[in-house]
Copies of this chain bind each other. A is one copy, B any other.
């Protein structure tokens, strides 16, 4: 069991409808040790892939993504969920993304200035469930003509279809913790832990 899995067991809380709350260390209060350890794990896995840019989405993706960017020594770029006034007169890549947690649709937006066909992109996010955010980020990278090296995820809910959507689209998914089930308020990981 890695340190993220152990922390999920120790401090994660399971709620009805397959909700796993990890906001004591991952997406509200954040433990920089855990986050750095995850980022280092992603780096070890993708270090030979020629990554030029880390792409994530606000807000919970930013903390893991900035550590990953530091490890790779490349810029991090985060997609914004609606068009802020300082981007209004610029050309942007955009994609519609549905949030099942919040039951809202957002346009996610990245300035064309910062992503192009010379880039090799690693997509990073805190959670993978239905894959909406990850597929949105992939679409943005593809709109830019960039290569996608893969998708790196802190916690994957492997019982939902996000991983399969990304695999079907032709890209690798690498997750620091893969959760097979949250049934009976119990966290069970894919590797049998």
Contacts and interface: CB of A to CB of B under 8 A. Distances in A.
A113 interface: yes
Interface stretch (A82-90, A156-164, A168-176): A82-90
Interface stretch (A20-28, A42-50, A133-141): A20-28
Q: How many copies does the complex hold?
A: 2
A141 to B, nearest CB: 14
A78 B24 contact: no
Interface string A60-72: 0011001101100
Contacts of A80: 28, 59
B21 A78 contact: no
Interface in A73-113: 73, 75-78, 80, 84-87, 101-102, 110-111, 113
Given A66-B35, A85-B101, A86-B19, A114 B78 contact: no
